Amino acid sequence: MHESTSNPTEQLVDVAQTASIFQVSASTIRSWRRRQVSWLPAPVAQLNGGAVWLRSEVSREAARYHHEGYSNNRTVSLARDRAAGRFYTPSDTAHFLADWLLRAGARSFLEPSFGDAAFIVAVNEQAEKLGLERVTWIGAELDVQAVKRARLASDLLPSEIRSGNFLALEAEPVDAVMANPPYVRLRHLDEETKRQSRKVVFQSTGELLSPSASLWLPFLIHSISFLNRGGMLAMVLPSDFTYVRYARKYWGWLSTQFEELRVVRVRQRLFPDLNQDVILLLASGHGGATQSVKFEAYESVPDLIESRPNVQSDIQISKIVSGERSFQRALAGSDVWSMLQEEFAGSLTPASDLMRFRIGYVAGDKDFFHPPSEVAEAYDLPAASLRKSITNGRRLKGHGLSTSKLPESAVDELWLPTGGELSDGELRYVRYGEQLGVSSGYKASRRDPWFRVPTVEIPDLIMTVFSESPLVLINDAELTASNSLLCGYLISGAVEQFVLNWYSPLTQLSIASEVHSLGGGVMVLVPNEANSVLMSDLRRPESDLLSIAGALASGNVEEAYLSGRAALENRAGAENVQMIIEATERLHHWRVRPN
């Protein structure tokens, strides 16, 4: 019998011995345990308050770890993992970013909001694997518990930790920033943090920060002020950064800060717990300047690590600043946009030239302001103060192309007292609303009187908002609509003509590239996006309205859009229309991601 098995305790190894068998530090073993990496066997027991492993298991896995390439070639190990059907964790992305920064020579790092220290662990591990000395850190974090955990885990030295608000921190020079900053809206933060945010943004860029901005933007800007000349940055940011209005001008500023800017998008979720679409911003050569962003999109994390982009495109920064949805356009494929320019030269117009879209009225309390008929009867609300209204887009489906075809069940009544005196019943209803607390609600309390809903209008068109193929109805019944819908007001031409041009595959492509989506891939049409949807005069016969109405009546919205295909083909040829349809499908593919 082998000597080590004669004494049972000799079969067991503690953290320090396990670390020495793997040839890593004890803190790496602790972080592996936290991350539950596949190559570290599970401890078999707790002895004297610490975990212990079977020596034989540790030795076997450590041999595999070194032999099969986990230790110095992440790509090999990831490829092997994939072959084994394992899935990839966020830490693979963190290691990828760490590897990029370290190989380029970064040795001092800033992590402005380290949280669970995932990025710090990744950099420290990767440095060890590359045979580098431990890098130095400035690690900031607001959450005291997270700071405590970091002190215990010893991923950071006490002198490297900055406990508190990163935005209040004086810049100290570093080679690299690696961060996944908080994404909280400024309006949800305390006054002091808002003030700090405005201050750091103004100091660095000379720009005034919009109140609708989120905290990641001042984090990005303040982090850059820490960088040495030639420094680099790797940050996980919300995809909103590629289009949201308040952030556009900072692309112009970024272009004066770095020699190279890369934006990476991965279709597979990078952070399974995060229901937010993210991009990776990789910037290098601080102190330089560039006119463009290299955009790369990957199907999965392994594709990113193995450098197999599905889409690669150089995007002019001036276009991002001007509000063009350049990243979306790149995902759709550049050829479709050049084709559209050629085939439709000068005839593509934004919808807003013909129809101005605005959000419907804001009642403030949906139930109170849309009383069901029994309640309206009980309070004797006069018919003259009840307006037929649409408050729910889902109820519009399957009834054709015009609001006059809607069944009663799809229409609510908005209580909107006319300018004169309130009836006795209405006065009772007002008191009832006050008892319910409706009068002190956010919207109601800001108007006088609280119960008169402002800007209730009758649009020419009503459009649903949560779809890549929104339903558009001609409002011939002169209904009004709440803020769950978009309302279109005719600027020029006839509403029927607008609808004929709207229901076409060309509009679908434009919607797919102009409209933003929520984390789960659900689109949300907001007025300025609906207004910028591109349309062309397709010269469709009025009789086509019947086929649109027929498709909509049978609940087939897709078919209504496809009804414009023939007219579009007459205009641009079948091949080009096929190209439009495929580009729309590509955008759908990138928007709706696997879990």
Ligand X SMILES: C[S@@+](CC[C@H](N)C(=O)[O-])C[C@H]1O[C@@H](n2cnc3c(N)ncnc32)[C@H](O)[C@@H]1O
The DSSP secondary structure of 254-283, one letter per residue, reads HTTTEEEEEEEEESS-SSTT--S-EEEEEE
Three-state DSSP class for 36? coil
CB nearer to ligand X: give 225 or 316: 225
109 binds ligand X (CB under 6 A): no
Nearer to ligand X, 149 or 443 (CB): 149
- Nearest approach, Cβ of 234 to ligand X (angstroms)? 11
31 binds ligand X (CB under 6 A): no
| Residue 519 lies near ligand X (rule: CB under 6 A) | no
Residue 146 touches ligand X, criterion: CB under 6 A:
yes
Q: Does residue 141 interact with ligand X by CB under 6 A?
A: yes
Q: How far is the CB of 106 from ligand X (least distance, A)?
A: 17
CB of 109 or CB of 357, closer to ligand X? 109
> Is residue 137 part of the contact set for ligand X (CB under 6 A)?
no
Asked if 316 is part of the footprint of ligand X (rule: CB under 6 A), the reply reads: no
Q: Other CB atoms closer than 10 Å to residue 131's CB: what's the count? A: 8
State which of residues 101, 106, 167, 221 lies at the interface with ligand X (CB under 6 A). 167
Q: What are phi and psi of 214, to 5 degrees?
A: -115, 160
Q: Which is closer to ligand X, CB of 155 or CB of 460? A: 155
CB of 96 to ligand X, least distance (A): 13
Site string for ligand X, 114-133 (x = CB under 6 A): xxx-xx--------------
CB of 100 to ligand X, least distance (A): 16
Query: Of 155 and 514, which has the nearer Cβ to ligand X?
Result: 155
Q: Indicate the DSSP class of residue 229.
A: E
In three state form, how does the secondary structure of 458-520 look?
Answer: CCCEEECCCCCCCCEEECCCCCEEECCCEEEEECCCCHHHHHHHHCCHHHHHHHHHHCEECCC
Q: 33 or 395: whose CB is closer to ligand X? A: 33
CA 178 to chain centroid, in Å, comes to 20
Q: What separation in angstroms does the CA of 74 have from each of 53, 78, 100, 263, 587?
A: 25, 6, 12, 22, 31
> What is the distance between the alpha carbons of residues 73 and 108, in angstroms, rounded to a whole number?
23
Task: Give whichever of 99 and 426 is closer to ligand X, judged by the CB atom.
Answer: 99
Give the Cα separation of 62 and 39 in Å (integer): 8
What does the block give as tokens for 419? 């300018």
Closest contact distance (angstroms) between CB of 116 and ligand X is: 5
Question: For residues 180 and 497, which CB has a smaller minimum distance to ligand X in the complex?
Answer: 180
Total number of residues shown for the chain? 595
User: Closest distance between ligand X and the C-beta of residue 54, in Å?
Assistant: 31
Q: At what angle do helices 118-129 and 90-103 cross, to 10 degrees?
A: 50
| Residue 180 CB, nearest approach to ligand X (Å) | 3
The dihedral through the CA atoms of 326, 327, 332, 333 has a sign that is positive
Residue from 20, 56, 165, 483 in contact with ligand X (CB under 6 A) = 165
Shortest Å, Cβ 523 to ligand X: 25
Which residues are at the interface with ligand X (CB under 6 A)? Answer: 113-116, 118-119, 140-143, 146, 165-167, 179-180, 182
